[in-house]
Amino acid sequence: MDKASARDRIQKLRNELHRHNHLYYVEARPEISDFEFDLMMQELETLEKKFPELSDDNSPTRRVGSDISEGFEQHVHEIPMLSLGNTYSREELKDFETRVRKTVSTPVEYVCELKYDGVAISLTYEKGQLVRAITRGDGVVGDVVTANVRTIRSIPLQLSGDGYPERFEIRGEVLMPLEGFRKMNEQRSAAGEQLFANPRNATAGTLKMQNSALVARRPLDCYLYSAAIKDELFNSHFESLNACRRWGFKIPPYSRLVTSMEEVFEFIDHWAEKRSELPFEIDGVVVKVNALAQQKQLGFTAKTPRWAIAYKFKAQQVSTRLRGVVFQVGRTGAVTPVANLDPVQLAGSTVKRASLHNADQIAMLDLREHDQVFVEKGGDIIPKIVGVDKEKRDGASAPVTFISHCPECGTELIRYPGEAAHYCPNVYGCPPQIKERLNHFISRRAMNINAAEATIGQLYNEGLVRGPADLYTLKYEDIIGLERFAKKSSHNLINSIAASREVPFPRVLYALGIRYVGETVARKLATHFGSIDRIRQAGVDELTAVDEIGERIAGSVTTFFQDEANINTVEALKEAGLQLEIRNEEAETGTLLEGKSFVISGTFENFSRDALKEMVASNGGKNLSAVSSKTSYILAGENMGPEKLKKAEALGIPVISEDAFMEMLKG
């Protein structure tokens, strides 16, 4: 193919891929299968490599991000990104209306919009192409985060249709849907990483990451809600939003055009009640004068527009009495303070406990014994103490202090530089750490041994199990007769332990509980090195050469294998017959399902759901727990949940059978 033909074909592929990407991620109505999409993407990648002079920063192939780390430059907003005036009062909304009507003599319409709890962003387009993305910053100057924003699939890299200005800005909010946030925190927890406090913090942290390839793997989304167009193409804000929707932007479907403050209050009341049903967090409602001529007439103060105001919801907060603070020790040795509270109703559930996170949080709250405290539910739905009612404080009450020694084993706690948590360093002698590592080892996604946490605690307390390898020396005679162990339960446990010897190597590696090594990292390490011995011998440079393995993970892996106790555990597991290297049939697979995600639901004739999930993962696919627009296929068995099927049909997601899935694995 000559250069001219390649240019034509490349442009045609880019246009088609942009269109299908918009249909999938914005409109949730795909027209083609993932397989067809992937074929076009592969052809485009091949042509771009063959003709690098035809490269384009806005090509669909750039969605995956780059591993090159660059500092963020700053850029001046051509039109300042002013903040909105905030109010929690309906009276102030009425005052806002009065001020508007004093200036504007013609009838006024308002646009009511949700106030998204994310990170404000400004996107600049030239000739329909995304050229720059800037954070709000101080409203005048913001950070350029274009490379990271290009990875957000709901943001168009090139616009659709026609009629858009030669050059313009559009503003909106980058946010993280709750489902993606929870799943990401679950993965971080499994890897021993610190959890994000809420979706907004996670979004802000992600946008400022220096590696856009990592940003591409975070579940970010973006709603656009304000076109900053100097040449007035439209008469109203609402009209401009409809035009932006036609051009391919993801414009929120929740906005409403109203003609009175009474209708504004109806909108506020509706979402104050229904906001918990949204798939993302909001913290209020924004009210804007609709007519652009009226906006111009109203103008701005030094800091805010006079034609818009934000009504903020009061946080879902209650007051209750602090009974005391206990300190819990986790699998990694991190010590977490937890407040015990007088039971109180909050957002539909009874709250008895709340996280205090760390010593810094306790000090910041100036928490005292038996304080009357204010409790909220954060973005991760975990109750947290956000303040103290000091007017109700007993003047003689003593401050709550963070402990200096482990509450379980008495070892002096340590705090690593740059970390907020305190840790018990007695890794192999602290009972809760040992029990939690054992519980992680037997968990369904690891060794899948059929035993409850209470069982592990009992086996530990009886002196029968002190580490993972001890499970494989257990005999029926050791456990029969123990509390809750009859003949059947004893046989079931022994048989389940025996069956776990066939668990594939990547899951065994994950089960070892190496800090920062979650399921995905364990699979990449296992696939790359092939055996536990090769991983053990690898240095930091060899480890960081593996995709997604940074210095922190590499350092954790090398530290793990420098510990004699860990080496002894691995050798004992070898002797017990566990899979500590990739088997031939596993090595032959890997990328067949790469880029595809599956929701598996129902019961199947030939395989368990866990076995099917393992097949998906071992072939490079992703397993999802819930149906969304990002789901590639529903693998459906008997008695599939009707709600999942209904949602799949609404989103146009292919539903395949067990047989069809097996055919897919044949390539």
- Sequential DSSP letters for 45-114: HHHHHH-GGG--TTSGGGGG--S---PPPEEE-SS--PPPPEES-HHHHHHHHHHHHHH--S---EEEEE
115 is catalytic: yes
Cβ atoms of residues 315 and 275 within 8 Å: no
Instruction: For residues 398 and 135, give the distance between their C-alpha atoms in angstroms, rounded to a whole number.
Output: 44
Instruction: For residues 18 and 556, give the distance between their C-alpha atoms in angstroms, rounded to a whole number.
Output: 40
Cβ atoms of residues 174 and 220 within 8 Å: yes
Distances from the Cα of 213 to the Cα of 48, 145, 403, 622, angstroms: 19, 13, 40, 17
**Phi-psi bin for 245: left (phi > 0), alpha (psi -120 to 50), beta?**
alpha
Cβ atoms of residues 60 and 38 within 8 Å: no
Cβ atoms of residues 661 and 654 within 8 Å: no
Instruction: For residues 69 and 19, give the distance between their C-alpha atoms in angstroms, rounded to a whole number.
Output: 30
Nearest to 183 by CA among 495, 659, 637, 631: 631
Distances from the Cα of 397 to the Cα of 57, 317, 359, 615, angstroms: 62, 24, 19, 58
Instruction: For residues 334 and 331, give the distance between their C-alpha atoms in angstroms, rounded to a whole number.
Output: 7
Bridge partners (DSSP) listed for residue 630: none
Cβ atoms of residues 645 and 621 within 8 Å: no
Tokens of 589: 């697979």
Instruction: For residues 646 and 326, give the distance between their C-alpha atoms in angstroms, rounded to a whole number.
Output: 45
Helix, strand, coil percentages (3-state) for the chain, rounded to 5, are: 40, 20, 40
Using the structure block, give the residue that is written with the tokens 């409809």: 242
| Annotated catalytic residue, options 115, 384, 644, 647 | 115
3-state SS, residue 311: strand
How far is the first Cα of the chain from the last one, in angstroms, to the nearest whole number? 28
Tokens of 611: 């076995």
Say what the alpha-carbon torsion angle 319, 320, 322, 326 is, to the nearest 10 degrees.
-90
3-state SS, residue 430: coil
SS3 track for 560-571: HHHCHHHHHHHH
Render the burial of 534-544: b for 16+ CB within 10 Å, e for the rest: ebbebeeebbb
Cβ atoms of residues 413 and 359 within 8 Å: no
Instruction: For residues 108 and 664, give the distance between their C-alpha atoms in angstroms, rounded to a whole number.
Output: 58
Instruction: For residues 209 and 204, give the distance between their C-alpha atoms in angstroms, rounded to a whole number.
Output: 9
Cβ atoms of residues 344 and 318 within 8 Å: yes
Torsional sign, CA 462, 468, 469, 473? positive
Of the CA atoms within 13 Å of residue 360, those in its CB half-sphere come to 6
Cβ atoms of residues 551 and 481 within 8 Å: no
Catalytic residues: 115
